Structure 1
Amino acid sequence: MENYNLDHDIPVMYVTASSFPEGISEAHVQLHSRVLFSGERHFFGISRPEGGLHNIVYKAAAEQLNENEAQEYGLESMVIPKGMYRSNYISDYAKDPQQIGQAFEQLLDNLSVLDPNGYCIEMYIGKNDVRCMIRLNAKNGELKM
């Protein structure tokens, strides 16, 4: 586990999964049928409880390369905020996709240091790696640890 500084906001467009975790794969398929892979953009998985701890909402997302792109693709949009994140980097996650869930279990072990309005974010790097991360609380520019 390490801290990771996301030095800029990332506007994304997304498809919301019909359920969690069962609908994750289909949400990514829907997203990629509209937004093709490109070396210019990152892809994400974004999730958090909404409407209760056991009601996880998952969004398959792609970085917007221009501000009108979400509208052009007919997708909803949001911004992944810059800041310091607690993170785990997983190489070749496809060999054992369960590593992603395990990484988030580790990252969630100390809720007091995490942004209570933050998301669990999977930032896909290339076709094989993923950085799992959750934004840390910040107070006057300093991290609460």
Structure 2
Amino acid sequence: MEKYILEQDIPVVYVAAREVPEGIGAAILEMEACLKADAGNRIFYGVSGCRNGEMFYWAAANEARPGEAEQLGCRRFTIPAGRYLAKTVRNFREDIQQIKRTFEELLDQPGLQTGGLCVEIYINDDDVRCLVQIDDAVGRQS
């Protein structure tokens, strides 16, 4: 595990999973379908957390231009800059459950932001960086 600083906000377009975790795969496919041929030069993300007692998952990609979410029929969100605790999962496709286990490990650490986000950054076709938000007051002391 390592501390990771996301230097700037990341505007993304996203599709929400209808059910978590069962609908995550469908949301990813729907996100890819929304982007159609424009998916090639994108960074893909997964954003998850708990709101009003309900788990959510958003399959996302970086926004290429302002207003794009509306044009694609998607929603827009900004992944906030800040301090995160991170761990990279190599060859995640060999065992997709590695991602879940990694987030369980990260979420078991002290100093996390209450109600903070979990973020997956798909570095390439095989590797994903898993992030959880650190409480800013705790993060500054480290």
RMSD over aligned Cα, in angstroms? Answer: 1.6
Tell me, yes or no, if the aligned pair for 1:113 and 1:144 is still in contact at 8 Å: no
Q: Distance in 2 between matches of 1:69 and 1:129?
A: 27
Where do 5+ consecutive residues of structure 1 fail to align?
A: none
| Structure 2 match to 1:92 | 91
Q: Distance in 1 between matches of 2:140 and 2:35?
A: 36
Where do 5+ consecutive residues of structure 2 fail to align?
A: none
Instruction: Compute the TM-score of the two structures, normalised by the length of structure 2.
Output: 0.91
Identity %: 36
Match of 2:121 among 123, 126, 139: 123
Higher helix share: 2
Instruction: Compute the TM-score of the two structures, normalised by the length of structure 1.
Output: 0.90
The number of residue pairs the alignment matches comes to 140
Structure 2 residue 77 is matched with structure 1 residue 75: no
Report matched runs for 1:3-18 at 5 Å. 3-18=3-18
The offset of 1:46, in angstroms, is 0.8
The offset of 1:51, in angstroms, is 2.2
Tell me, yes or no, if the aligned pair for 2:83 and 2:139 is still in contact at 8 Å: no
Offset from partner CA, 1:55-110 (integer Å, 9 cap, x none) = 31111111101121111111111100111110110111000111101100111113
Q: Distance in 1 between matches of 2:140 and 2:131?
A: 15
Tell me, yes or no, if the aligned pair for 2:34 and 2:73 is still in contact at 8 Å: no
